[in-house]
Amino acid sequence: MSGLLIQGASIVDGTGKKAFVADVAVNDCLISEIGRIPAETGNFSRVIDARGLTLTPGFIDMHSHSDLLQMVKPQAAAKICQGITTELLGQDGLGLAPLTDGHIESYRRHVSGLLGDPDLAWTWRSFGEYLERLQREGTATNLAALASHGPLRIAVAGMEERALTPKELDRMCELLQRSYDEGAFGLSTGLIYPPCIFAASDELVALTSVSARNEGIFVVHVRNERGLVAESIGEIFDLARKTGVTPHISHLKVIGKENWGTAGRMLKLFDTAIDEGLDASFDQYPYPAGSTMLSILVPPHAHAGGSEKLLERLRDPAMRQRLAAEMRQGLPDWENIATAAGWDGVIVTGIPDGPNKSCEGKSLTAIAEEWKISPQEVVFELLLQQNLQVSMVNFSMSEEDVAQIIKHPRGMLGTDGLLIGKPHPRAYASTARILSRYVRQEKLLTMEQAVERMTGRPARRLGLRDRGRIALGAKADLVLFDAANIQEGNSFVDPCRHPSGIEYVFVNGVAAVSQGRETGALAGRVLRKR
């Protein structure tokens, strides 16, 4: 026998069962033995004394935005160093496949505030070609991907704000089916983001019917996480009942101070639906602040027609005046994040190098005072000057609601981490925050419960039968950490610091972190749903 031997760890196996002390042997990327394993019984190339440490399956990020940066920084340090060994890409309906000639540059600009815009050629067109590109570049983490509503809609109607024709619906469903044939794990949509926000109900029914036939999950950023959050979740549950699709709500939350304390009422929607037989689930990041692209602060109608049209409208003084008024007063059914957080609660986080780089870490209120213009005008000017490539953090939630949601048994981990500029700290430390704050300090979850929410449960949701647990024959995605001392280590002021206390991370049996240091190994795989 040759391979890896981890001795004397407290094993939390990802099933929710009570921890136990044992040794684990790894050979050929698989867990080959669990129990009492003397080192002298095999020819192990590496033996780790894990007494006093906790061994778990690798953590699974159910909401990742590594879609582009993965190709230029495949070492995925932000994820690997917090023990994440598998990521789910293609979120919020704003993934990267399929692409359509004639729309690529506009779409590239549209998503730049979310995914960044690294210097690389977008050479793929189909979903399968995108996965092949990821594999060629190499990856430290395992990568699974969702088909995305936005590119599907753009392929048949561009960024037009209108209902689709029956012929267009058929074509979009054909493209979605091809994406499933090429390995998609499900379908995502972001019903606050253009062009997804323009979809009528028949469009969502058509897409989710295809997903149901393929047993793919439906991952949704709902239309409204503020005053209409119950109605927005209800819309998705009703859709699931109609088509049979499996619903999964992204980054479950309630925003706006007027709604703080209402998480319990929202969670009852899940309890009722589950009692009725609906297999509903959600993911969550463990912070009271969200993060997305700054352009979402501009009312949806301004985005119709694509990035060029948006920039054109932002140059028009009359249109700017109209948009500013709508941003102050709101529009029916539009989730106005700026008023939910307050202008002083919206912090600019991601800007490319240049004269506006100094805006990173400042609130829109502070920038407005510095520039002597209104916060609305700050938004317009930043988007124009940066060609839409600006991201933000918005403080719009309460810690109490975050804590209540994290205790619900259908929850999973989703970092929702944007990796550009000065990001939200969730990109680097979500797992450590759960284990340090909510397990060790506040004891809202046991270690076994927390680990199951970050490993076994998302693996089952994705149909990854050989990951997410410590069991014979499972893939050796493993994390070895000091449960008594694991700490997030970063903050909103200093977000790009890795957690402390994570000693080893293995991906497919290969060490990506060893003795607390990155190895640079690219042992991850691009996964395809079978």
Number of residues that make up the chain: 530
d(CA 91, CA 66): 10
CA 462, 420, 82, 523 torsion: positive or negative? positive
| Beta-carbon contacts of residue 399 (< 8 Å; ≥ 6 apart) | 288
Domain boundaries, the chain: 59-288+397-458+470-514, 296-393
| Beta-carbon contacts of residue 361 (< 8 Å; ≥ 6 apart) | 347, 348, 349, 422, 493
CATH class of 59-288+397-458+470-514: alpha beta
3-state SS class at 198: helix
| Alpha-carbon separation of residue 136 from 145, 250, 274 (angstroms) | 16, 29, 41
d(CA 392, CA 113): 9
d(CA 95, CA 151): 7
3-state SS class at 289: strand
Q: Phi, psi at residue 347, to the nearest 5°?
A: -115, 125
**Which pLDDT value is given to residue 325?**
97
Residues 132, 133, 138, CA angle at the centre, nearest 5°?
95
d(CA 504, CA 55): 9
**Which pLDDT value is given to residue 255?**
97
**Which pLDDT value is given to residue 1?**
42
* Per-residue pLDDT tens over the stretch 85-132: 999 999 999 999 999 999 999 999 999 999 999 999 999 999 999 999
* Crossing angle between the packed helical segments 263-275 and 399-406, to the nearest 10 degrees: 20
Extract the tokens encoding 128.
């399968």
The end-to-end CA distance of the chain, in Å, is 31
| Beta-carbon contacts of residue 526 (< 8 Å; ≥ 6 apart) | 131, 132, 134, 135, 139, 142, 143
**Which pLDDT value is given to residue 203?**
98
3-state SS class at 530: coil
CA 510 to chain centre: 25
* Per-residue pLDDT tens over the stretch 492-508: 999 999 999 999 999 99
d(CA 21, CA 11): 6
* Under-50 pLDDT residues of the chain: 1
**Which pLDDT value is given to residue 512?**
98
**Which pLDDT value is given to residue 2?**
63
What is the layout of strands, in order, in the sheet containing 84-89? Answer: 59-61, 84-89, 142-145
d(CA 147, CA 211): 10
Q: Phi, psi at residue 250, to the nearest 5°?
A: -75, 145
Q: Which residues of 266-279 are buried (b: 16+ CB within 10 A; e: fewer)?
A: bbebbeebeeeebe
pTM for the complete prediction? 0.97
